[in-house]
Chains A and B, each alone.
Chain A
Amino acid sequence: MLITQLKAKETIVSLVEGKKIFIINCQGCKEVHFPEEEAKELQKELAADGKVTGSITTDYICNPENMKLRLEKHMSEIKAADMVLVFSCGVGVQTIAEYLDDKMVCAACDSCRLPGFQGVTPIEYDCGQCGECYLNLTGGICPITACSKSLLNGQCGGAKNGKCEVDPNMECGWERIYRRLEKVGRLDALKCPVQVRNYATDDEV
């Protein structure tokens, strides 16, 4: 579940130049994000050039079993193409590339990280999954994700009027933490020993 953006039109046009293509749209995460209209527009132009051997719009191509069942009917169109162009997140592109490993499989989108993808669709909180939750010391506001520098031991001092110096649209995470702790009467939490982030716990599970 990722946010996908179309690659620049020039990039895609030069990618498919002189090639016959088969197009796969994955809309499984459409309710999260899929640039549906933009993709449709671009594909119309590609089709007008007579380069498209076929196209399907499906969902969850990251699920290999169902992806295979859905591609089955289109294998002749895929064979006739020089390239399979996939409009999906990076997971989908790789799943297709592995299945059609003798075919050139290309991505038409870039994927961006999506906060909160573990649970339901996007939500306002983010968790960096650092493996050593600091929320107990910070009144439940995450210093890893709410501070643009991921500082663990207080503010950097660069904030102006409560706004982050890195991104003026962002509130200073440590000011928010201070206010929250003040509100719940737990400013004493700031007196805890210095925290050192242990990147070694950042292992994959």
Chain B
Amino acid sequence: MENYTKYKLKSNDELVSLLADKDNLFIVACNKCFKEFETIDEPECAELEKIVAAEGKKVTGSARVDFLCNKTQTEKKLQDMIPEGTEHVLVISCGLGIQTIADLADKPVYAASNSLNYTGHHGMALTKKSCDACAQCYLNVTGGICPIVDCSKSLVNGQCGGAKNGKCEVDPNKDCAWEKIYKRLEKQGRLSEFLDQPVQLRDYSKVDFKFVNDYVKSIRENRLEGYYGGVHPSERKEFTEHIALQKFPDPETVVIPLSMHAGAPANPVVQVGDTVQVGQVIGESAGFISAPVHSSVSGTVTAIEEHGHATRGRCMSVVIKSDGKNTLHESIKPNKDLDSLTPDEIIEIVRASGIVGMGGAGFPTSVKLKPNKPIDAVLLNGCECEPLLTADHRVLLEFADDVVFGLKAIVKTVDAKKGIIVIEDNKPDAIELLKAKTADCENLEVVVAKTKFPQGAEKMLIKRVMGRQVPRGGLPADVGAVVSNISTTKAISDAIQKGMPLIERIVTVTGEKLKKPGNYIVKIGTNTKDLIDYCGGITGDDVTIKAGGPMMGFVLSDTNVPIMKGSNGIIVVDTDHTVEQPCIKCGRCMDVCPMELSPLYFAKFADEKDWQGMKDKNVMDCIECRCCEYICSSKIPLVTKIKAGKTAVREMK
């Protein structure tokens, strides 16, 4: 592949005269943009150092920085980079990088390179120049061939007459654009349409710089709003956001996995043939990071066997045939009121009720409720930033009192100063309701956050609401925060107020390929296929089914898997037909990564099996939000590669 480096070193003579009165130089080179990875050794950088050395000048140091023009990241990298004693900074990059450094460094900055003219190469970057951004697109009258770019004279009213044998008189290697346009229009039978067209005038004042500049400013602010990066995928929540919760009909049989949480799978405490009741423990917690599992129906245990599992492939599960009576187990009874419960009692109720993070990660909630640091705030994540999903939204609307009760319980347990419910601005009804419900609670508040994915990720949420950065490898408690999911908080309320363990949850079943989308109250262990069939089944045969949302959900190749504690959604969407292509180093993945990583390296290192490289680029910090994959113009399955890298890095230890 061609080398798309967009700048070249200035001539030797020019550099020599530039260096004449300067010494103690620091060299910064932009390491990215359309550069191929093969040129990572920076031939220009070495070449410049050679020239500097030949002039007998001292180089105080040099650095290569990816995407110098990414001001936010460059500013951080530049801190402490330029050593003491440096007098001048030389930059090898396109004009953007040089201007960025000139603005950030407090030393005189010089360009050691010239930008090459690539004006007009947009979009995929490697396409040929095809759009000059004239702001008055002529393609509609020219059959989709651009007269501004393809005609050397940028004529907009037909050929100049100078072409010979179909070749341009300015450049004989070039086809005459107007002949191409004529042929295309002739083929489509549109010649008269063009010939009858009034004369076109090019209006050079059409490019509205003020609009463009203001827009650029606003888009930058938007990108950095609350936290770095993030994306705005189409929400498509209109399928289900206004559909009230319905109880999903009781299943005849439930398959309850013993692992629906992070940590050790539960140990089964029932045997085949046992009679069980609703809320009865069927699996005991098997360690500190583990959680018990309860029966969601009353009936008979028919098997304890390996069964398909949405995220783990297969998992030991308890199969229970329901007797249809839903007899409650004797242990299900309301607890004392919140004021009389001690924090330790609340933690024990939460633990014994098998409550785990219901946003998908499944971390045991009782562990979260025992932070070893003082807590300033409990954040309830009501963002539901995943497109399509509306489960938490419905819980907020229909169980607002329970959510507020649960929040009060958490605030009391961790002795927090306040509880904050964070809701994205695309759910105005929930914002209004929760504001009313918390109006008389001094230590509770509702914060409205501008919609951006992945706002609900705990690190982003803390950054946005509290302006604090969770340290690398650290936990929310390290910065005085506890983050809880909406459904989890409701489950805590149910456990305290009703004594009911976690045996059912709200699931959004939706997607453009599902006949009747809706939000359902579903018993844990219900078969996913039954849920889809109940919603009218799927339309078309070319669909993708995922457990979870379109961004972070897991693809289900088999729908014969049970609904679990973390199953917030089942989505049926169009399959995306694309093929992975080589990385063009456009840098968009880096621009959207909320953890401020450089995902493009993960693609390269995974293909080379360079796990050390992955580790050095902090692959373990990745939260797998899929923003990079979403934005990738080469359709590289980055998250798959990142997961492989994480597994390999874990094994290295």
Chain A residues proximal to chain B, CB less than 8 Å: 1-3, 5, 7, 15, 27-33, 36, 57, 59-60, 62-63, 65-66, 69-70, 72-73, 89-98, 101-107, 109-133, 135-136, 139-142, 145, 167, 169, 180, 184, 186, 201-205
A115 and B137 contacting across the interface, CB-CB below 8 Å: no
Tell me which of A2, A72, A130 contacts B117 (CB under 8 A): A130
B69 and A107 contacting across the interface, CB-CB below 8 Å: no
A116 and B219 contacting across the interface, CB-CB below 8 Å: no
Q: How far is the CA of A192 from the CA of B497 in the complex (A)?
A: 81
Tell me which of B125, B130, B132, B133 contacts A114 (CB under 8 A): B133
A111 and B133 contacting across the interface, CB-CB below 8 Å: yes
Give B599-653 interface residues, CB cut-off 8 Å to A.
Answer: 631, 633-635
A122 and B216 contacting across the interface, CB-CB below 8 Å: yes
13 A–B pairs (Cβ distance < 8 Å), ordered by A:
A1-B125, A2-B122, A91-B122, A93-B137, A94-B130, A116-B69, A116-B216, A120-B67, A120-B587, A123-B220, A127-B95, A203-B117, A204-B117
Determine how close the nearest CB of chain B comes to the CB of A5; give it in whole angstroms. Answer: 8
Determine how close the nearest CB of chain B comes to the CB of A86; give it in whole angstroms. Answer: 9
Tell me which of A69, A91, A119 contacts B123 (CB under 8 A): A91
B102 and A139 contacting across the interface, CB-CB below 8 Å: yes
Known: A31-B631, A57-B234, A90-B137. A118 touches B123 (CB 8 A): no
A109 and B137 contacting across the interface, CB-CB below 8 Å: yes
B69 and A120 contacting across the interface, CB-CB below 8 Å: yes
Interface of B is mostly: loop
Determine how close the nearest CB of chain B comes to the CB of A114; give it in whole angstroms. Answer: 7
Q: How far is the CA of A109 from the CA of B223 in the complex (A)?
A: 24
Tell me which of B98, B99, B119, B588 contacts A129 (CB under 8 A): B119
- Tell me if B529 is interfacial: C-beta within 8 Å of chain A: no
Determine how close the nearest CB of chain A comes to the CB of B13; give it in whole angstroms. Answer: 13
Give B527-582 interface residues, CB cut-off 8 Å to A.
Answer: 542, 576-579, 581
B123 and A62 contacting across the interface, CB-CB below 8 Å: yes
Which residues from B are CB-within-8-Å of A116? 69, 96, 216
Q: How far is the CA of A63 from the CA of B130 in the complex (A)?
A: 13
A62 and B108 contacting across the interface, CB-CB below 8 Å: no
Give B107-162 interface residues, CB cut-off 8 Å to A.
Answer: 107-111, 113-119, 122-125, 127, 129-137, 139-140, 143-146
Tell me which of A70, A96, A111 contacts B137 (CB under 8 A): A111
B118 and A107 contacting across the interface, CB-CB below 8 Å: no
Which residues from B are CB-within-8-Å of A29? 123
Q: How far is the CA of A28 from the CA of B125 in the complex (A)?
A: 13
Determine how close the nearest CB of chain B comes to the CB of A46; give it in whole angstroms. Answer: 16
Q: How far is the CA of A97 from the CA of B145 in the complex (A)?
A: 8
Which residues from A are CB-within-8-Å of B215? 3, 33, 122
Which B residue's beta carbon lies closest to that of A115?
B216
- Tell me if B70 is interfacial: C-beta within 8 Å of chain A: yes
A125 and B96 contacting across the interface, CB-CB below 8 Å: yes
Determine how close the nearest CB of chain B comes to the CB of A14; give it in whole angstroms. Answer: 10
Which residues from A are CB-within-8-Å of B144? 93-94, 96-98, 101, 105-106
Q: How far is the CA of A32 from the CA of B136 in the complex (A)?
A: 19
B217 and A129 contacting across the interface, CB-CB below 8 Å: no
Give per-residue flags for B193-233: 1 if the beta carbon is below 8 A from chain A beta carbons, else 0: 00000000000001111111101110110010000000110
B115 and A119 contacting across the interface, CB-CB below 8 Å: no
Determine how close the nearest CB of chain B comes to the CB of A10; give it in whole angstroms. Answer: 14
A-B contact count (CB 8 A): 272
Known: A31-B592, A63-B124, A135-B95. A94 touches B117 (CB 8 A): no
Known: A3-B212, A66-B579. A132 touches B114 (CB 8 A): yes
B99 and A140 contacting across the interface, CB-CB below 8 Å: yes
A66 and B578 contacting across the interface, CB-CB below 8 Å: yes
Q: How far is the CA of A118 from the CA of B587 in the complex (A)?
A: 9
Interface-centre pick from B107, B113, B211, B234 (highest chain A CB count, 10 A):
B234
Which residues from B are CB-within-8-Å of A202? 117
Determine how close the nearest CB of chain A comes to the CB of B141; give it in whole angstroms. Answer: 9
Q: How far is the CA of A125 from the CA of B579 in the complex (A)?
A: 34
B118 and A90 contacting across the interface, CB-CB below 8 Å: no
Q: Which of B44-52, B184-192, B292-300 contacts A (4 or more CB under 8 A)?
A: B184-192
A205 and B116 contacting across the interface, CB-CB below 8 Å: yes
- Tell me if B18 is interfacial: C-beta within 8 Å of chain A: yes
Q: How far is the CA of A91 from the CA of B634 in the complex (A)?
A: 16
Determine how close the nearest CB of chain A comes to the CB of B106; give it in whole angstroms. Answer: 8
Which residues from A are CB-within-8-Å of B188? 102-104
Tell me which of A60, A133, A201 contacts B111 (CB under 8 A): A133
Known: A62-B124, A65-B579, A98-B144. A110 touches B136 (CB 8 A): yes
A133 and B220 contacting across the interface, CB-CB below 8 Å: no
Q: What 8 pairs across the A-B complex have the smallest Cβ distances?
A: A140-B102, A97-B144, A127-B95, A90-B131, A62-B123, A119-B69, A113-B133, A122-B216
B118 and A129 contacting across the interface, CB-CB below 8 Å: yes
A127 and B99 contacting across the interface, CB-CB below 8 Å: yes
A119 and B131 contacting across the interface, CB-CB below 8 Å: no
Which B residue's beta carbon lies closest to that of A117?
B122
- Tell me if B500 is interfacial: C-beta within 8 Å of chain A: no
Determine how close the nearest CB of chain B comes to the CB of A74; give it in whole angstroms. Answer: 11
B187 and A135 contacting across the interface, CB-CB below 8 Å: no
Q: How far is the CA of A140 from the CA of B108 in the complex (A)?
A: 8
Which residues from A are CB-within-8-Å of B123? 1-2, 28-29, 60, 62-63, 89, 91-92
Determine how close the nearest CB of chain A comes to the CB of B561; give it in whole angstroms. Answer: 28
Known: A60-B633, A107-B139. A135 touches B99 (CB 8 A): yes
B102 and A119 contacting across the interface, CB-CB below 8 Å: no
Which residues from A are CB-within-8-Å of B111? 133, 135-136
